[in-house]
Every structure is written in C-alpha cells, then in structure tokens.
Structure 1
C-alpha cells in the first residue's frame, strides 16, 4: 500500500454541523424545482495538503465562503482541477453514486498534469460518504433528479514564483439538480468552431481543469447566437469534443464511432455508454475521425445519427451541426433511437431500475 493510501485510510474527518441547518420543509420546497448549480447543501468537505505533511485537516463543515490570499497561486497560474458526478436516490430510499473509482482516477490524472498532489481514491470516496452522512436529505426523489457532487482542488499557497504550489486545498460541495430535460429529451443543434481550439496536443485537454472550459465560453456564446446549444471543436480536420461533452457517431451497420485524441477528456459517461453498446453486440471504434467523414457519411446514409454524452445530460441526440457554409442534419426517429435506448438503460442502472451487471454503482449511505 502506498504512503498516500495509508494516510487516506487513517485520515479522520472532524464534523462540525451547521447550527441553523435548512429545515426539512424548506429542503422539500427547494427540491421541487432545484434547477442546476443554484442552491447548495448545508455542508462541504475540506482538506489541506502540504509538501511537508501530506493530506491532513479533513473536515465536514458548514457550507460558506472561505478566505483566499490575493497571492494564492490558483489566481495567477490556474493550478485548479475538478470533477463532476451525481448521487442518486433509489426507490428504497438508499443513496448511490456511479463509478466513483473512475472519477477518483481522473482527478488523479488531472492532478498529475497540473502539478498538484494526487488525492488517494480511498480518501476521495470517503469524502463523498462523509458529505452524504450529513446532507443526505438533499438527494431528491423525483424522476431524473439527483444531487450533483463537485469535488475540486486548487493551489492555495501565497507565492508568486512560477512553480508548483506547496499548499493545496481539496473541497467537495453539492447542489441538488433537477431533470436536465423537463419536456423530454430533444435533439440539440451544435455549432462547428473553426476559429477557436479547445486544447492542443501536449496541453491540458485531457485534464478536467477550469482553463479548458474558460477557453470554450466565447465560442459557446457565439453558438448560442446561431441558435445552437453546444459547440464542436476540431483539431485541424479531426473532430475532438464539444464544450463539455463527448461525441459519438452512429452508422447504419451498427457501429459507434467516437473521436480519439490525447487532447480529449476521457468521459466516464462515454465509456459506460460504449460498454453498454458492446454488451448489445454493437461494434465500437475509438479513433481519429475527420469532419468530412461525418459530413459525407450523413450525405450517403452510412452515418444515420450522432449524439453527445456527459454527466449532466447523460445522452442527447444531435439534430443538426451548423458550420459556416454547410449543415449536417439528422432527422427522424431512426437517428435518435439508439441514443435514447442507451440513455434509458444507463439511467435505469443509475437509479436502480435496471440490473447493474458491471458493478458500477456504489452505495454512499448506511
């Protein structure tokens, strides 16, 4: 066992409950229509890493602002990473999360790339359990709702030299999330960005860090102006990913094709969807894909649909790609049928309605 793992198992969380905790009646009102990322639970998890002492000072404490020195490294050199995941309420009232080991591993990979300390997986999972132990009442019960969990880490050391920080903070906060599609899952339109790049080879594209999302905000705003909900980025002629989701193409002979690149974030939802497709006997191809392959395949009928996938929306069909001088259109039920079927199966697993054959679900309460 590594030293960090041993420290994680020995780490004790000091719990300080909020004296004016939100009354159950008020929580129930909030959960009727929580939206996304607007309301936060009563508590948060925090721990500190130092170069000399490793991980220590683990706490569950009341949610609220924290003080940050103006010279904190994160404000100047963007040493920051995060994760996104959900807690689900099953029919028997129990609370579960989906493949947290993958989130823990991805957070570690992101940490390595941003020169931050790796958080042991045991510690990561325990932080989820500790927060649910005090804020479990915030997990909604309505269909398609969840408690969104946001673990994040940033360089806290007050130092303006250009080097990796020697003091780092880890936090976990949570926010109840309503159904992503209130009127049912509808195909989205996406805009093709040829002017902006999300990330470059050898850069931070494969890490889940805020800078990647910051660079997508301007092209995302331009996509909205074109009536599109998302933006697709390219690496030259090769397809990469959307601003916050992975892309999958569906062929008429039962293949699922998804772009592969060292600058694409490894999607946990994507990996799970591809596994479910393989379980059905479908062929999965993760490889380089040009925009012309998609365009020509849609024109000759060999590519019959496309969808995007990610933690928030799970799976959403793509109805149209809008480029400067052309469009790729996928219309009709056939173009969305497989995407919606895979979405139904995956959400069924997450909410406990479908058998979890792969052991993906992990219980957080009890």
Structure 2
C-alpha cells in the first residue's frame, strides 16, 4: 500500500489526483497539467516533495567518507553550500543522483530519490567502514515543500526574515518560515529559480497553507508530479530510471564533470571510470523536437536510414515550446535524419542540444 505524505489531507481537499509513485501516495495533478506547468514558468508553483530521502552523515571524517562513497569532492564544500553528485557501483554504473548539503563542519545531508534512498543509506553505511563517521537515515522525520518559479523569492520573503536575496544557487541556510524551523535551500528540479524547504512533518500542513496564502496574489498554484516531469524535461534534467541507471555511467549521460578524479584518496568506481575520461561513449544524450504532433515516449526506438540508432528515455508534450519533445540516447556520430518509431509510425525529429529551455537570469 502506498505511503501518504504529511500533506495527504491537503491534497485531497484540493481535489488532487493521487498516484502511487515509488511507494508513496503523491499528487499527480490538481487540475490542468499545462496550467500548473505555465504557472511555474510564469509565476510560481507549490510542490510536495516529501517522498525524497534525507540521510545525515556526521562525524570528524564525514567529508572523507562522502569523498570515498560518492564521485564528488564533498569535503571541499563549505558549510551552507550544496553540490549535485552521484553514487556509483564498482563498475561505474549510476546507483542514484544526489544533492549533498554541508550543514556544518561535521554534518552533511544527502538527499536521494524516493525510489533509491533506502539503498543509498545502506550503501553509505556499508562504505563507512574505517571512517569516523555516522550514517543516519532521517527521511521519516522530514517533509519537503518546494516553491518554484520567477516569483518564488517574493512569495517566500513574506514569511521569513532569512536573507533570500543573498542565498546563492545550490546553497542553504537555517531559518524560520511562517513560524516553522526549516532548512531553506535554493535548489530545484524545474529549470526555474526557487526554494526547497525541509521541515519537520508536524509543521508541513501549516507551512503549506501559509505559503498558499502568500502566493495566491502572485499567481502561485499547487503543482503535481506530472508538471514537475515536463518542467525538468524542458530543462534537460535527468531522471533516475530514465536517463540514469546502473547500466550507465556519468560519462554516458554527459555528466562526467561531476566525477572528481583530483580529490585525495580512492573512491568507489574510480578504477572503472578513469579509462572513460578521454574516450567517447558509444551513445550520447540528446534532445529531440517532433516536427509533427505524435509524442515520443520512454522506450520508443530512434531510427535513421531505416536503422535503430537509439532509444527515447523521456518524452512529453512541451507546454513552453508547443511541440512534443524527448531526450534520447543516440549513437555517437549520428547528426540528423532522425525519426522516432511511435507504434509503427515514423515521426520526424529535429536533433537539438540540451536543454530545451533555459530561464532568463
């Protein structure tokens, strides 16, 4: 049975369509998916992301443990900053993509995807042997609420005296929001400016309601997982299970930059990943824009000259572009003449560099 978030009653009162996502009962949409999408692009959207996992790594060697366990150089983070990174297996395959926040000198928070956080916590504990550090999965204690969109700062500023204007992208600070203690992070998964608020479960409902009141005059509306997916797709952001998997390395996904070979010491997957630094992967991740109206979906073959040259990883109508779009892995060297086989019909595609959408900063 799917597990509810602390905001389930709120979602039901708003008429949300709820769905089982990674074992959680989550709001898919509240009304129109395209309206929710446009609200985030033009004003703001309010998201319940309480299904994400929060794993704390603490102790004198917490940074060194994370340097060994993950591909990034996390001990180099200064308190208050965050970094996108990955955990890989010994073969270099991606087990999950993560955001790591350094909260204090000896305290880090690792945020993992809902479908993977139990595995990530287990892997971190396994890799902690020999390090003076503790791994504590605190996912059950926290709710995560996100305000995303160009009006996000104006909305949140009404409810906190934290220095939002001075908070950089991929940074976080402790603060009080509408009376609730929170970690306020300038991060997100939409391609827009915005904030993610980590709060205790008991504070989630009151905080959501206060955010809704503050955001209503600015055009903010609640937004579900469906529009979150089209937003991240337009922004060219990978989704674990689609663009990332244990069968793919960070280099396959065009994200080799997150692998830090210059950090001190060894790390899990280093021996497998090092030979890939200078080699070209067999396939590369690209963007596709449909010339017609058929929607390329996950798993559909990409063809050129009658031959299969790739596979769609994510596809959907783009409310911003007004056309169907997709991310796909295609054979390196293929530069055009592409189509997607949509159930027997060949839908011509324009190949574009990612992302499809980049906000004005």
Q: TM-score, normalised by structure 2?
A: 0.26
Q: TM-score, normalised by structure 1?
A: 0.25
**Is the helix fraction higher in 1 or 2?**
1
